[in-house]
Structure 1
Amino acid sequence: MSAGADAPGTQAGTGHEPRPSQGVLFTQDIPALDETIGYRGPTACGAAGVTYRQLDYWARTGLLEPSVRNPSGSGTQRLYSFRDILVLKIIKRLLDTGVSLQQIRVAVTALRERGVEDLARITLMSDGASVYECTSDDEVIDLVRGGQGVFGIAVGSVWREVEGQLAELPSERAGEPVAEHPSDELSARRRARRTS
C-alpha cells in the first residue's frame, strides 16, 4: 500500500505507525476467530465472489495461500480460514475497481501482517493506482479532500458480509480426517465406485 508525501493514510510495511484515534467508521466488535476451522475452495469462491480458476492461480503464485491447510499432494483439499476469505473478497473488490495486481500484492502482504482486531478497523482507499490504508475517519476525509481517495473499502463491513455468507456453509476443522463434501462431484464418483 502506498501513501504520498502529503497523504494522511499510513503506508503499510514502512514502519509508520497508524494514528491511535478510532472514528465512527472504525468501531466494530470483532469476535475471536478459530484459526483451525477452514472452508474448501468452492465455499471460499462463493463467499469471496471469485472463480475457482482465480483462487487456484492466486494460491499457486503466492498471492493468497490457504492458511488452514495447503495441499501437499493429490487428493488433498485446500482449506481457507475466515481471514483468508476476507482478504480474498478485498482482493476481488480492488481488482474490480482497476487496481493493478502488483499494488494488490503489496496491500495483501500488509493486510496479512495485521492482527485481526487491527485488520477490522482499517479502511482501504484507492485512486485506482495506489492503495492507502486509513485507520481513522480523519485520514479518510484528508485523503478525499486531497483528491487521492476515489473509493474506499471498510474492512469491518466486508468482515460482516463474509461472516453472514459463511454462517450457513460447511466448514472443516484442521487436523480432522478429510471428509468428503456431499456436493463435491469427485467425492460422489468415489462413493459410487466403492459401492459398486
Structure 2
Amino acid sequence: MGYRGPIACSAAGITYRQLDYWARTKLVEPSLRNAAGSGSARLYSFRDILVLKVVKRLLDTGVSLQQIRSAIEHLRERGVEDLAEITLMSDGASVYECTSTDEVIDLVQGGQGVFGIAVGRVWREVEGSLAELPRERTQVQAAAGEGSEPAAFEASDELAQMRARKQAS
C-alpha cells in the first residue's frame, strides 16, 4: 500500500513543490511508484514519508542539503526496523547517528551535537498522521487482485504490518 503525493506532503509537513523537487533531484524518491510522465502519480511508502519528515526536520534546523543527502543515503542503507532505534544529531555542519543514550551524551559532551532528531518519535508522528488518511494499492497489487477483501487490504498495508509485528511482540 502507498500514499499519493498530497497525502505524503500532509503527513511529512512539506509542500508539494518540495516533494516534487526532492523526487526530481533524487533526494527522496517514491519507492512504490515514480511518476512516469504527465498525469501519473507517485506512490510513497510509509518509510518514504518517514524519510521526508526527517529531511524536513533537518532543513528546519539549518543543516546543508549536502549533509542531508549524506544522512539520507546512510538511512537508506539501514533496514526499516533499525530506523526507530536511532537519533540523528547535528552541529549544523555534520549529521551523526546515535543508537544509544551513551552515544548521544558523548556527542553532546564533546561539544559536537547541537540538536537531535529521535527517528522513533518521528516514526510515531508519521504513523499517527497516516492512520486516518487514504492510501492506494500499487499497480502490482491491483493487477494481482490483492486487497479485494478489507482484511487483505489492511494486511498488505506496510503500516498495518508494522503494527501487527509490534502487537505480536
TM-score, length basis structure 1: 0.70
Extract structure 1 runs of 4+ deviating beyond 6 A. none
Structure 2 residue 12 is the aligned partner of structure 1 residue 82: no
The equivalent of 1:164 in structure 2 is 128
Cα deviation for residue 108 of structure 1 reads 0.5
The answer to which structure has the higher helix fraction is: 2
- The CA deviation string for residues 144-187 of structure 1, in whole angstroms up to 9 with x for no partner, is 1011111110100000000000000000111227xxxxxxxxxx
Corresponding pairs, count:
141
Cα deviation for residue 50 of structure 1 reads 0.6
Cα deviation for residue 138 of structure 1 reads 0.5
- Provide the C-alpha distance between the structure 1 equivalents of 2:45 and 2:76, rounded to a whole number of angstroms: 12
The equivalent of 2:73 in structure 1 is 109
- Provide the C-alpha distance between the structure 1 equivalents of 2:13 and 2:138, rounded to a whole number of angstroms: 24
The equivalent of 1:51 in structure 2 is 15
Residue identity opposite 2:54 in structure 1: I
Cα deviation for residue 39 of structure 1 reads 0.5
Residues 8-19 of structure 1 mapped to structure 2, 5 A cutoff: none
TM-score, length basis structure 2: 0.82
- The CA deviation string for residues 55-92 of structure 1, in whole angstroms up to 9 with x for no partner, is 00000011011001111222211011000000000000
Unaligned runs of 5+ in 2: 144-169
Query: Matched residue of 2:2: which SS?
Result: strand
- Provide the C-alpha distance between the structure 1 equivalents of 2:137 and 2:108, rounded to a whole number of angstroms: 43
Identity of aligned residues (%): 81
Residues 118-157 of structure 1 mapped to structure 2, 5 A cutoff: 118-157=82-121
- Provide the C-alpha distance between the structure 2 equivalents of 1:116 and 1:74, rounded to a whole number of angstroms: 31
- Provide the C-alpha distance between the structure 2 equivalents of 1:55 and 1:41, rounded to a whole number of angstroms: 7
The equivalent of 2:5 in structure 1 is 41
- Provide the C-alpha distance between the structure 1 equivalents of 2:98 and 2:137, rounded to a whole number of angstroms: 34
Query: Matched residue of 1:149: which SS?
Result: coil
Query: Matched residue of 1:153: which SS?
Result: strand
Unaligned runs of 5+ in 1: 1-36, 178-196
CA RMSD of aligned residues (A): 0.9
